[in-house]
């Protein structure tokens, strides 16, 4: 039997979709740059939503922290805009988290490439 698609997951998906549009169209803060909403996790009681975001071209932790502060300060505005577009009795409080999966993926890819090039070097030595 197929896995059940829970209400919290449906709400999280809708919040992710709406937030992505709101951030792109409504947020005018120049400190943000390009923001990607990669995932949203909603608590079972729909009181909190952890919003995982990543920022294009930002690598150092200081810039990430600054951008997260900007996002958190805009949480009230974004929540009120969500209330207009999503029909829920209670709109979850938004908590923004940095999603480092892109940076981590690039790091892992780099490690794999180094390991493969090291293997090909050892292959060439053993054939001689």
pLDDT one digit per residue (tens) for the chain, 128 residues = 445 678 889 999 999 999 999 998 888 888 888 888 999 999 999 899 999 998 887 778 888 899 899 999 999 999 999 999 998 888 999 999 998 877 777 778 888 888 888 776 666 555 55
Does residue 51 contact residue 96 with C-beta atoms inside 8 Å? Answer: yes
> Is the distance from CB of 53 to CB of 38 less than 8 angstroms?
yes
Q: Cα separation of 39 and 99, whole Å?
A: 8
**CATH number, span 7-99:** 3.30.300.20
Q: What is the pTM of this model?
A: 0.77
Per-residue confidence (pLDDT) for residue 109, from 0 to 100: 86
Backbone angles phi, psi at 35, to 5 degrees: -120, 135
Rounded distance between C-alpha atoms, residue 23 and residue 26, angstroms:
6
Question: Which single residue is written with the structure tokens 């997951």?
Answer: 9
């Amino acid at each position: 039997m197929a896995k059940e698609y829970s209400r919290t997951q449906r709400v999280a998906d809708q919040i992710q979709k709406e937030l992505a549009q709101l951030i792109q169209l409504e947020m005018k803060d120049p400190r943000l740059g390009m923001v990607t909403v990669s995932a949203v996790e909603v608590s079972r009681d729909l009181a909190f939503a952890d919003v995982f975001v990543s920022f294009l071209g930002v690598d150092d932790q200081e810039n990430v922290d600054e951008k997260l502060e900007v996002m958190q300060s805009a949480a009230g505005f974004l929540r009120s805009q969500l209330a207009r577009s999503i029909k829920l009795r209670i709109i979850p409080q938004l908590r923004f988290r940095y999603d480092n999966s892109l940076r981590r993926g690039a790091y892992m890819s780099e490690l794999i490439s180094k390991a493969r090039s090291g293997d090909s070097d050892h292959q060439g030595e053993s054939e001689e």
